[in-house]
Amino acid sequence: MPLFHWFIRSIPQAPKKTGLLMAIYFWWLDYFTPAGRAFASLFLLAMFAGAVPGFWAAWIFGGLDFLLFLGLVFSLFVTAKRSKIEVESVSVNHVREGETATVTAYLTVRSTIDCVNLGANRLPPSLTGIESDNVKIKVGEPPRKLECLVKTTRRGSFMLGKVSANVPEIMGLLRWPYGYNGSVELLVYPRALKVQDFPFLTQGPSGMAFAPFLMPSLTRGMNFIGVRPYREGDSLRDLHHKAFARYGKPFTKEFEVERGAGVILLLDTATPNFKSRQYLEHAIRLTAAVGEWLLDREILGRFFIDSEEIALDGGSESRKNLLDALARIPPASLAHARQAAPWAPAARPMDPVLRIGLYASEEPLVNKHIVVGTLPASTEDKLLVVMPEDCEGLERGTVVL
């Protein structure tokens, strides 16, 4: 029985898991170049082919390949190990789902390196690393900037713990990785959706609480602070005629606004059943789209993920904080569900609340609900049901909420 448990623990599951098979797999990727992996695979193939009676040619090839690798091990420690490289200032840009991130690092050498590249190894299954081109770095040069790529497929927060400078040995089959002493976080934001219009926000009696935020002329102050491009719903009396005549497109006068903090956006990540777990990513993408739509109009006051408030610092930092928080939401687990719970903010909200979730809920503090799933459409003015295919349409920028 202990042997069985050892075998189960050794099966590769994810890069963060430990185990003998995973350690061997990492060693295989770190110390062998693609050409070296091909030679090693052919050696194993020759050994199995040699088991066929009378097939002596496979053993000859296997013997020559084995002698070659004996020379490679000696070459690795004589050449590459003598090199001195320091990997410093590693950074990575945050991207959207499906985009390619760039990992940047600066290399400092103590001896001339004829061939070195930068790579990100030991990545989660949803990420694919692409190493940089091989370059030559001479001793005495200032730190050389190298960039490698990481392809993404899904949203999430990923720690890149194995960014290394790879120095191949002279035959190009083995290499020595010089790792960075630390890790860097890669945030993959939800896929970019585009909300063109949002009439649901002001529909019905429940929309009366949101209407003043979309009509700033009703609650504007007297102090003129500048002009901005015209947006649908702006009062015609606020058009800036001089800017319109100069640039050929409408501009609106902007005044200091006298109103509360703004619309409160709430994302409920509870997945009470198996079906709702399939739509969590759609709800996160929709939240990003609606949140950015509110930020573009400067009417997003507060943002909550469940009962935790995400700080919005204002300006461009608000958009970054919103997307960072959405990227760090754990993906839905098919085996475990997060049960529904009442929304319990630390302080009672004074402004209207818009909730996005995966199930219908009667929250006394919430003015409007958007449910992502397959619930039957409701005629109530405060409930909007968004089907998953509508979310896919938003990704193409063709659906208007």
Tokens matching residue 275 = 């079906």
Between 399 and 23, name the one with better pLDDT.
23
Distance of CA 77 to the CA centre of its chain: 38
Query: Which has more pLDDT, 251 or 53?
Result: 251
Do residues 185 and 322 lie in contact, with contact meaning Cβ atoms separated by under 8 Å? no
Please, which residues have CB within 8 angstroms of residue 89's CB and are 6 or more apart in sequence?
104, 105, 106, 143
Arithmetic mean of pLDDT, 349-364: 88
Q: Are residues 252 and 336 in the same domain?
A: no
Is 112 a member of any domain?
A: yes
The pLDDT tens digits for 294-308 are 988 888 988 999 988
At 54, the pLDDT band (50, 70, 90 cuts) reads low
8 A C-beta contact, residue 303 and residue 339: no
Domain count, the chain: 4
The three-state secondary structure class of 197 is coil
Is 166 found in the same domain as 124?
Answer: yes
| Residue-wise burial string across 178-210, b where 16 or more C-beta atoms lie within 10 A, e elsewhere | bbbeeebebbbbbbbbebeebebbbbeebbebb
Q: CATH number of the domain that 177 lies in?
A: 2.60.40.10
Q: Are residues 246 and 370 in the same domain?
A: no
Pair (133, 272) in one structural domain: no
Residue-averaged pLDDT of the chain? 80
Is pLDDT above 70 for 2?
no
147 and 17 in a common domain: no
Is 194 part of any domain?
A: no
pLDDT band for 82, please (50, 70, 90 cuts): low
Point out the domain boundary residue: 48, 80, 112: 80
Note whether 254 and 324 are same-domain residues. Answer: no
Q: Does 123 share its domain with 43?
A: no
Residue 308 lies in a domain: yes
3-state secondary structure 20-68: HHHHHHHHHHHHECHHHHHHHHHHHHHHHHCCCCCCCHHHHHHHHHHHH
- pTM (two decimals): 0.78
pLDDT value, residue 152: 95
- Which pLDDT tens digit goes with each residue over 272-299? 877 778 889 999 999 999 999 998 888 8
Is the residue at 401 inside a domain? Answer: no
Which residue range forms the structural domain that includes residue 11?
A: 2-80
Same domain, 324 and 207: yes
Per residue in 161-187, pLDDT (tens digit) is 889 999 887 777 778 888 888 889 999
Return the percentage of the chain with pLDDT > 70, whole number: 76
Of all residues in the chain, the percent with pLDDT exceeding 90 is 26
Nearest to 117 by CA among 137, 94, 98: 137
In a domain, 355, yes or no: yes
Q: Residue 160 to residues 19, 20, 87, 120: CA-CA distances in angstroms?
A: 19, 21, 14, 7
State whether 317 and 382 are in the same domain: yes
Query: CA 383, CA 365: separation in Å to the nearest integer?
Result: 14
Whether residue 212 is found in the same domain as residue 231: no
28 assigned to some structural domain: yes
Q: What residues form DSSP beta bridges with 130?
A: 149
127 and 266: one domain? no
323 and 363 assigned to the same domain: yes
DSSP state of 376: P
Last residue of a domain, one of 31, 61, 80: 80
